[in-house]
Amino acid sequence: MKYSIVTFASHSALQILHGAKQEGFHTIALTIQGTEQPYKSFKVADEIITIKSYADFFAIEPELTNKKGILIPHASLIAYLGIDAIKRIKMAYFGDRTILSVEADRDAQMAWLSEAGLHVPKTFNTPETMDRPCIIKFHGADGGRGYFLAKNQQEFYEKIGTNPLKKYVIQEYVVGVPIYIHYFYSPLTDEIELMGFDRRYESNVDGIGRIAFKDQMGFAFETSYTVAGNTPLVLRESLLPAVFQMGAATVKASRIRANQGLYGPFCLETMVTPDLNFCVFEISARIVAGTNVYVSHNPYSYLRYNEPMSTGRRIAREIKTAIEQNQLEKILG
Ligand code: ADP
């Protein structure tokens, strides 16, 4: 019996399932009632299993195990099922689950990146110590939702009012250009691969430039960072050595924090400053939605593979290779 690649129908599922089909797997999309249409229309799933809510996953888990299912995580799984539930999953799961708790805790994340020797934004423990404009972020990835800017302590207290109960972090606001770096680390070959770059399209920060400054002055809006989509990007080539070095250092530093360490796809979210330094403000320890821009064509993975290689397909390729080499345990966590 063939192995099945299983994923929740959201986030990067179209790409994951499409890539798995390209590599010859049986594919299963888990849809929440009412979200089936894209997965039917794009014909990426051999099977669609509909459940009422994410929590119903455990009722169908035995069936998925019988189908030799391997579950591929993405941000929607983490956000809607939750890390504690993910730790209870018994079916085959691609990736190291212990890394998720590190990723979810912004302080642990920053410590990890600093230990890797990466340049990170300055963090202020209290609003009283703020000495520059800051971005205030809440814990847990939610696509930038609810973040706000504060130029000083007074503005912080004025704005925090509506969200005082959530845990937050006060981070230096870095002025540069946002560049999201997509990596894939293979524990089978011990190689860091560069899969590509994207930039996010965020509302309303990416729309504010459409309004003349004189008109902005009359508007009472707050800058916000809610992700609406992603666009492709290529990087100035002389920056690539630094990109590879940062990826390798991140993987190495992950090993003291998680069982097997970080492997598979991950992303460093950076601001590139005018002196061409990368300031890393976040890490995603799994596939990011920005890779969706490269289902058919990606300059970097094309250079490496000489065939279209989306991150979804790369995951499936890794699983296929592990099965062929009898090393599946190396990539299941
Ligand atoms: P999420 O955890 O929801 O993925 P991020 O930490 O990636 O959120 O931040 C969302 C957006 O906020 C980023 O894409 C970027 O535009 C902006 N941002 C985050 N951190 C900083 C920072 N330190 N300086 C400037 N902009 C930032």
Dump pLDDT digits (tens) for 51-89.
999 989 999 999 999 999 999 999 999 889 999 999 999
The answer to whether the CB of 105 is under 6 A from ligand 1 is no
For residue 268, the SS3 value is: strand
DSSP-based three-state secondary structure for 11? coil
Residue 116 has pLDDT above 90, yes or no: yes
Number of Cβ within 10 Å of residue 99's Cβ equals 24
Are residues 272 and 238 in contact, defined by beta-carbon separation less than 8 angstroms? no
Compute the distance from residue 143 Cα to the ligand 1 centre, in Å: 9
Query: What integer pLDDT is reported at residue 171 of this predicted model?
Result: 95
pLDDT band at residue 107, thresholds of 50, 70 and 90? confident
pLDDT for 140 equals 61
User: 155 in the Ramachandran plot: left (φ > 0), alpha (ψ -120 to 50) or beta?
Assistant: alpha
In short, whether 291's Cβ falls inside 6 Å of ligand 1 is no
Pocket test for ligand 1, best of 110, 122, 132, 135 (most atoms within 8 A of CB): 135
Query: How far apart, in whole angstroms, are the C-alpha atoms of residue 156 and residue 134?
Result: 9
> Would you put residue 33 in left (φ > 0), alpha (ψ -120 to 50) or beta?
beta
Helix (H, G, I), strand (E, B) or coil at 210: helix
**Ligand 1 pocket, residue 281 CB under 6 Å:** yes
Q: How far is CA 243 from the centre of its chain?
A: 17
pTM: 0.94
157's enclosing H/E stretch is: helix 153-160
- The predicted pLDDT at position 161 comes to 76
Is 282 touching ligand 1 by the criterion CB < 6 Å? yes
Confidence at residue 144, expressed as pLDDT on a 0 to 100 scale: 66
Is any atom of ligand 1 closer than 6 Å to the C-beta of 121?
A: yes
Q: What confidence tens digit (pLDDT) does each residue in 193-243 have?
A: 999 999 999 999 999 999 998 888 888 888 888 899 999 999 999 999 999
